[in-house]
């Protein structure tokens, strides 16, 4: 199974690298596992359709708690990684391309330590550091493999985000909405998890994901920062870099370390990105959000204009626009056009000036194709013709100043489900915390 990307890697990797998966599996085996008595217990409970887990301590301890609390689900995930046709293709291609070593060399040390804790707790010979790193280096892995493995086009993410504040909202406050689009991955759909994380020396935060997910795609922290990721297709594979960081791992660094939008911006401007991704970050206290277009050695930043900024899956900033696919994908352009109609003053179906969490939910549920003027029928999961029907696996609205958020997940089509409300203050056990009402 060879293609342009895999051949490029083989020509650039050092001799003997393809022995790395075997060597690392030996080096990271059970003989290195720490005693479970060294790990304080986490906590798990069920809230409606969601599993909520509380993790705290060092990265290793949080990984071990994760692997213990979600042990049954991770055993199921291990079977999926070994047997599902698409993931088996991706896993085998990643092994042949030496991606484990690339992931190990370029992952944050905290991420490797957390992976090791989870691997030790799962204690399944088919779930090693290779599998954990593949899952949690996924944005880079998919980008690196996509051109060489045609069937992986079927799982290419395609997401939409918006940050609105000031004159765009009904109350002048900031709100951040996002839809994570992918393919119909049953394991992810069936196991939505709210991770409540209190890392030693870091900012407590939440992210919304699935069992085994250590590198977040969307989250909010106790300082009032929300952030989420969109993947972007490259112009060609020459714009990628074999050294740097994964955007979704960087996202966790922002949640753990950034108290302000300026601190989030510094992390992203001073960290080399390996592939093309967009991170959208919002500071509820400052009332401002920015779109960060990330590529190797390039960062483009798009600010809010009149209280609005939004992103789909292509670049627009002058620093990064030459690096992505040209022309951009039809779905990305269509969704961007529809967001322009819905969010900007004077747009064809503008909600400008009235936006609040409920109105943002209506944007995430929008079924309208701006090119044809038609609406996709209710119940549509993935036809690529609207914001709500592009394969949504999660839909989230953040109110980062109040540290509140609303999530739809778990049943298809996701945007049509009730948006369940959560309070970060309540999840963190702060006295007097109140959870807002769900958005039906």
CATH number reported for the structural domain that contains residue 362 in this entry = 3.60.60.10
Tokens of residue 69, six digits = 């609390």
Centroid of chain to Cα 82: 23
Tokens of residue 390, six digits = 């592009």
| pLDDT at residue 147, as a whole number | 47
Q: What angle separates helix 20-27 from helix 99-106, to the nearest 10 degrees?
A: 50
Q: Which residues contact 143 (CB under 8 A, 6 or more apart)?
A: 231, 234, 240, 274, 275, 276
Instruction: Give kind and range of the element (H or E) at residue 131.
Output: helix 129-135
Instruction: Give kind and range of the element (H or E) at residue 23.
Output: helix 20-27
Closest CA to 205 of 252, 263, 267: 252
- 196 near 428, Cβ under 8 Å? yes
Shared-domain flag, residues 227 and 245: yes
Find residue 290's DSSP bridge partners. 281, 303
Shared-domain flag, residues 233 and 132: no
Tokens of residue 317, six digits = 């900033």
Shared-domain flag, residues 23 and 135: yes
Q: In angstroms, rounded to a whole number, what is the distance separating the alpha carbons of residues 1 and 59? A: 36
Boundary of a domain, candidates 103, 134, 153: 153
Shared-domain flag, residues 53 and 84: yes
Q: What is the CA radius of gyration of the chain?
A: 21
The C-alpha angle with vertex 332 and arms to 329 and 334, in degrees rounded to 5, equals 105
Shared-domain flag, residues 403 and 329: yes
Closest CA to 417 of 383, 440, 388, 391: 440
Shared-domain flag, residues 240 and 145: no
Per-residue pLDDT of the chain (440 residues; tens, 9 = 90+): 223 333 333 333 322 322 222 222 222 333 344 556 689 999 999 999 999 999 999 999 999 999 999 999 999 999 988 888 777 777 777 777 777 888 899 999 999 999 999 999 999 999 999 889 888 986 776 666 654 443 444 455 589 999 999 999 999 999 999 999 998 989 999 999 999 999 999 999 999 999 999 999 999 999 999 999 999 999 988 898 889 999 999 999 999 999 999 999 999 999 999 999 999 999 999 999 999 999 999 999 999 999 999 999 999 999 999 999 999 999 999 999 999 999 999 999 999 999 999 999 999 999 999 999 999 999 999 999 999 999 999 999 999 999 999 999 999 999 999 999 999 999 999 999 999 999 99
- 291 near 164, Cβ under 8 Å? no
Q: What is the pTM of this model?
A: 0.89
Reading phi first (left if > 0) and then psi (alpha if -120 to 50, else beta), residue 220 is in beta
Shared-domain flag, residues 136 and 173: no
Tokens of residue 415, six digits = 């945007």
How many independent structural domains does the chain possess?
2
Shared-domain flag, residues 146 and 161: no
What domain range includes position 260?
A: 156-192+216-427
Shared-domain flag, residues 145 and 166: no
The C-alpha angle with vertex 190 and arms to 182 and 80, in degrees rounded to 5, equals 75
Number of Cβ within a 10 Å radius of residue 324: 23
Q: In angstroms, rounded to a whole number, what is the distance separating the alpha carbons of residues 313 and 94? A: 24
Shared-domain flag, residues 326 and 358: yes
C-alpha neighbours within 13 Å on the C-beta side of residue 99: 29
């Amino acid at each position: 199974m060879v293609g342009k990307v895999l051949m490029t890697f083989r020509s650039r990797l050092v001799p003997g690298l393809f022995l790395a998966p075997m060597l690392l599996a030996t080096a990271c085996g059970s003989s290195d596992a720490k005693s479970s008595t060294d790990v304080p217990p986490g906590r798990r409970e069920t809230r409606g359709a969601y599993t909520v887990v509380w993790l705290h301590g060092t990265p290793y301890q949080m990984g071990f708690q994760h692997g213990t609390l979600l042990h049954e689900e991770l055993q199921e995930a291990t079977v999926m990684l070994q047997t599902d046709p698409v993931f088996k293709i991706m896993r085998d291609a990643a092994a042949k391309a030496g991606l484990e070593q690339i992931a190990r060399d370029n992952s944050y040390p905290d991420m490797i330590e957390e992976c090791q804790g989870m691997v030790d707790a799962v204690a399944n010979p088919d779930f090693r550091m290779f599998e954990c790193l593949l899952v949690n280096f996924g944005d880079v892995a998919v980008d690196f493999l996509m051109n060489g493995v045609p069937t992986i086009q079927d799982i290419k993410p395609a997401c939409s985000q918006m940050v609105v504040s000031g004159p765009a909202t009904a109350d002048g406050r900031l709100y951040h909405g996002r839809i994570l689009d992918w393919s119909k991955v049953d394991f992810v759909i069936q196991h939505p998890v709210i991770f409540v994380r209190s890392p030693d020396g870091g900012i407590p935060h939440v992210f919304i994901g699935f069992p085994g997910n250590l590198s977040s795609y969307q989250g909010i922290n106790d300082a009032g920062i929300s952030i989420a990721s969109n993947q972007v297709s490259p112009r060609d594979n020459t714009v990628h870099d074999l050294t740097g960081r994964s955007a979704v791992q960087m996202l966790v660094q922002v949640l753990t370390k950034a108290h302000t939008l300026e601190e989030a911006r510094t992390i992203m401007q001073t960290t080399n990105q390996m592939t093309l991704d967009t991170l959208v970050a919002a500071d509820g206290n400052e009332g401002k959000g920015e779109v960060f277009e990330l590529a190797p050695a390039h960062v483009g930043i798009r600010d809010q204009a009149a209280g609005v900024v939004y992103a789909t899956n292509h670049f627009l900033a002058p620093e990064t626009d030459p690096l992505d696919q040209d022309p951009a994908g039809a779905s990305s352009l269509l969704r961007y056009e529809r967001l322009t109609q819905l969010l900007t003053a004077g747009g064809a179906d503008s909600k400008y000036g009235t936006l609040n969490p409920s109105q943002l939910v209506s944007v995430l549920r929008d079924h309208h194709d701006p090119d044809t003027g038609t609406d996709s029928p209710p119940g549509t999961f993935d036809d690529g013709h609207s914001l709500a029907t592009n394969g949504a696996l999660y839909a989230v609205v953040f109110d980062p100043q109040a540290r509140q958020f609303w999530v739809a997940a778990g049943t298809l089509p996701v945007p049509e489900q009730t948006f369940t409300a959560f309070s970060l203050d309540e999840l963190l056990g702060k006295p007097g915390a109140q959870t807002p009402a769900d958005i039906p």
